[in-house]
Amino acid sequence: MKFTVNRSYFINNLNSVLKATSSRSTIPILEGIKMVLTDEGLVMTGSNTDISIELLVKAADDLQIASTGEIVVRAHLFSDIVRKLPGKDFTFDVQEGNQIKITSEHAEYMINGLDPSAYPRLPEISDDQSFAISAKTLRELITQTVFAVATDNSRPTLTGVSFTFSQKQIKAVATDSHRLSQRVVGVDNGPSEDLSLIIPGKNLQELAQLIADADEDLKVFLGDSQVRFDFDNLSFYTRLLEGAYPNVDRLLPATSSTSVQFHVSDLLSALSRASLVTHVNRTNAVQMEIDAENNRVNLTGNSPDLGKVEETVENLGIEGKSLTISFNPDYMSAALRASVTDIVVINFTEALRPFTVVPNDNEIDFIQLITPIRTF
Amino acid sequence: MKFTVNRSYFINNLNSVLKATSSRSTIPILEGIKMVLTDEGLVMTGSNTDISIELLVKAADDLQIASTGEIVVRAHLFSDIVRKLPGKDFTFDVQEGNQIKITSEHAEYMINGLDPSAYPRLPEISDDQSFAISAKTLRELITQTVFAVATDNSRPTLTGVSFTFSQKQIKAVATDSHRLSQRVVGVDNGPSEDLSLIIPGKNLQELAQLIADADEDLKVFLGDSQVRFDFDNLSFYTRLLEGAYPNVDRLLPATSSTSVQFHVSDLLSALSRASLVTHVNRTNAVQMEIDAENNRVNLTGNSPDLGKVEETVENLGIEGKSLTISFNPDYMSAALRASVTDIVVINFTEALRPFTVVPNDNEIDFIQLITPIRTF
């Protein structure tokens, strides 16, 4: 196995595979990247058992193949070496005993490779169940929900985002049982049969990063316990979470008795000031006092040790009754940062009942739910 | 005590004082900044027992004084609050029971201050022994030596940089006993009597940062166990290290049998490649083979676990005998990064004797010494 490749072109590809590679794995071979060179090109595979990435660097001017073969190379060391090589190109040449000679200008490395037959196989996922989705749509669905997944493992399904794909729409839901985010988008060519799957939140964050610049369609392939996303020259595998996702529809309040509209930026900066004092408290809570008569919203943060902050937050209209309610400012800030509109509507019912944050545009099907805190 | 101040102007000043404030101190009052407001202006003091900073914000258009007084305010909280306040200005108003009211536009904080009489006094340093030094000169002396101080505490004096000030020159020396850096610069108006003092390395790093943008003179005041640097509107206090600094002059070799000139950048990048494999070894050593006959310098890094790297480093001339020597690539890289010239001369005597790195310009009195490693 021997090839010569343009270094910066190669680094771009290597960076994607590195996302799936752990620098310290209990399975030592997974600290490596498997490299398989055929006449078609170089296939690089990285895996951390949670996600796997397989990437094809096509044979072309930038990649010249002298002889085919395969090897596993230590990912961390290899990436450091390639980054520091002096030349525009480098040559990668596997010699006897899995020794790899890497040369670039006057620098020559001879590093120990690992046996490629010891590298685990990736799951085979058939083409039977597959459909296309635009990269932009998927990226938005992820970033608008993934922050709300549970970070503790007491209910494993809640550490993932639940996706329901159908012919006409996709629904994504995440909740850690204190707050919830649900986004529904319409699509034209979803799967012919309805599909539900739960994908681990942190794997979705990696996927969202990988498709950050993509603007074409991804192809989604469904296996029994895995799902594969194909785009560009790359396949992204993630395991699925087993179990039934809770039915969250019944949690969403149908009516409200108080509604307030805010500019996202006004409320966000007031919350960041209030949380400066509340963050030291065990119960991190700010109080919002909605005075419907005087059309005034007051925000208060209080900490016995440090002091108190109080301010009037500009609102764009109050409907319904006056109300005083306390909530976690971090949940509210996360909900506001995910907003797709500059103005949001917050719908309350009672001081101890969950309230919703929605766009001020009925066309957008995006609802966030936050459970208040009892402070008395 | 009450003042109104331009927020961004205040933040610039506050940032300097914060450098001396610890967020967690065993002496709780030192987590605070002492603020003393007189008709002249606002004096802010921060201290972490190692260094102290006193800064005067002069009464002017940007600082309007309503009433004088003093208070201690929690540094971390106060800085966060000031940064997040909504307005261009803010008002700081000390009320009964050391309560501080901070207002800016529609936001109002009421935070708990601390008793200013509990704040420790800074050392008094008389004007008897003082002299001026240019900020640029001091900054260079620090950055060219401080990296070589000892980081372990087995010989406390070595954790500092030794300065010898005289009428005509300043000599700065740092060594951790494996390598040494000595810089001598000429001055016109040093102190009338010779002075020697050892200043803790990490305090010097803070000082170098503070004077990064200054281009005027600093005034240096010497106390018994402290030294004070005055510049702009700021006084920087640091404790001194006690004890005698070792006489390093006898360590510097007078002659050499092999000299090689290198472009700093060529040798630096070759070292960074070699250290990729040597960093995993307990003995982090690269080998340099100087072949005088063929005018060739080879650099080799080797690790039984990972592999080997070898390259020819371009040299700008070899004088004397051939030699093979091993050394820590990190020490050599630090010496090269401190270089003030693009080309350095490395002077060797024997494979197991310390060698020197000096500028290729005899006018510059800067010598770095590195002890080689025995690898056989």
Residues A96 and A203 in one domain: no
Contacts of B276 in chain A (CB under 8 A): 77, 80-81, 84
Predicted confidence at residue B168, as pLDDT, reads 94
Alpha-carbon distance of B237 to A205, in angstroms, equals 48
The pLDDT-based confidence of A24 (bands split at 50, 70, 90) is confident
Predicted confidence at residue A155, as pLDDT, reads 95
Look at A123 and B326; give whichever has higher pLDDT. B326
A274 shares contact with chain B (CB less than 8 Å) = no
Residue range(s) defining the domain that contains residue A281: 253-370
Residues B234 and B142 in one domain: yes
Residues A362 and A274 in one domain: yes
Is A281 a domain residue?
yes
Predicted confidence at residue B204, as pLDDT, reads 97
Residues B43 and B101 in one domain: yes
Q: What is the pLDDT of residues A159-206, one digit of tens each?
A: 999 999 999 999 999 999 999 999 999 998 888 889 999 999 999 999
Predicted confidence at residue A228, as pLDDT, reads 96
Predicted confidence at residue A376, as pLDDT, reads 66
Contact B109 A270 (CB under 8 A): no
CATH of the domain at B261: 3.70.10.10
Contact A85 B305 (CB under 8 A): no
Chunked into runs of 10 residues, chain B (376 residues) has average pLDDT values of 97 95 87 96 95 94 95 96 97 96 96 96 89 94 97 95 95 97 93 93 96 88 93 95 94 95 98 94 94 97 94 97 97 98 97 97 97 88
Q: What is the pLDDT of residues A307-316, one digit of tens each?
A: 999 999 999 9
H-helix or E-strand containing B208? Answer: helix B201-210
Q: What is the pLDDT of residues A5-16, one digit of tens each?
A: 999 999 999 999
Retrieve residue B1's tokens.
């005590």
B75 shares contact with chain A (CB less than 8 Å) = no
Is B274 a domain residue?
yes
Q: Dihedral (C-alpha) B296, B301, B304, B308: value to the nearest 10 degrees? A: -70
Which residues have C-beta within 8 Å of that of residue A154, sequence separation ≥ 6?
none
Residues A41 and A99 in one domain: yes
Residues A202 and A292 in one domain: no
Alpha-carbon distance of B173 to A79, in angstroms, equals 38
Predicted confidence at residue B202, as pLDDT, reads 95
- Classify residue B156 as exposed, middle or buried by CB count within 10 Å of its CB (0-12, 13-18, 19+): middle
Look at A317 and B126; give whichever has higher pLDDT. A317
H-helix or E-strand containing B81? Answer: helix B75-84
Give the end of a domain, one of A211, A239, A267.
Answer: A239
Longest CA–CA span in chain A (Å) reads 84
Q: What is the pLDDT of residues A65-101, one digit of tens each?
A: 999 999 999 999 999 999 999 999 999 999 999 999 9
**Rounded mean pLDDT of A4-29?**
92
Q: What is the pLDDT of residues A230-278, one digit of tens each?
A: 998 999 999 999 999 999 999 999 999 999 999 999 999 999 999 999 9
Residues B269 and B234 in one domain: no
Residues B88 and B197 in one domain: no
Predicted confidence at residue B60, as pLDDT, reads 87
Q: What is the pLDDT of residues A93-117, one digit of tens each?
A: 999 999 999 999 999 999 999 999 9
Is B247 a domain residue?
no
B276 shares contact with chain A (CB less than 8 Å) = yes
Contacts of B112 in chain A (CB under 8 A): 305-307
Is B93 a domain residue?
yes
Contact A108 B273 (CB under 8 A): no
Residues B303 and B262 in one domain: yes
Is A184 a domain residue?
yes
Distances (CA, A) of B2 to B8, B67, B91, B98: 18, 5, 7, 12
B94 shares contact with chain A (CB less than 8 Å) = no
Alpha-carbon distance of A340 to A264, in angstroms, equals 10
Averaged confidence pLDDT in chain A = 95
Of B84, B307, B311, the CB nearest to A106: B311
CATH of the domain at A32: 3.10.150.10
Is B125 a domain residue?
no
Residues B216 and B280 in one domain: no
Contact A109 B309 (CB under 8 A): yes
Number of domains into which chain A is organized: 3
C-alpha closest to that of A81 among A159, A29, A14: A14
Residues B43 and B112 in one domain: yes
Q: What is the pLDDT of residues B330-346, one digit of tens each?
A: 999 999 999 999 999 99
ipTM attached to this prediction: 0.87
Alpha-carbon distance of B86 to A265, in angstroms, equals 12
DSSP 3-state assignment of A195? strand
Give the end of a domain, one of B204, B239, B274.
Answer: B239
Is B123 a domain residue?
no
Give the end of a domain, one of A188, A215, A239.
Answer: A239
Predicted confidence at residue B376, as pLDDT, reads 66
Is A26 a domain residue?
yes
Residues B74 and B98 in one domain: yes
Predicted confidence at residue A157, as pLDDT, reads 97
Contacts of B100 in chain A (CB under 8 A): 307
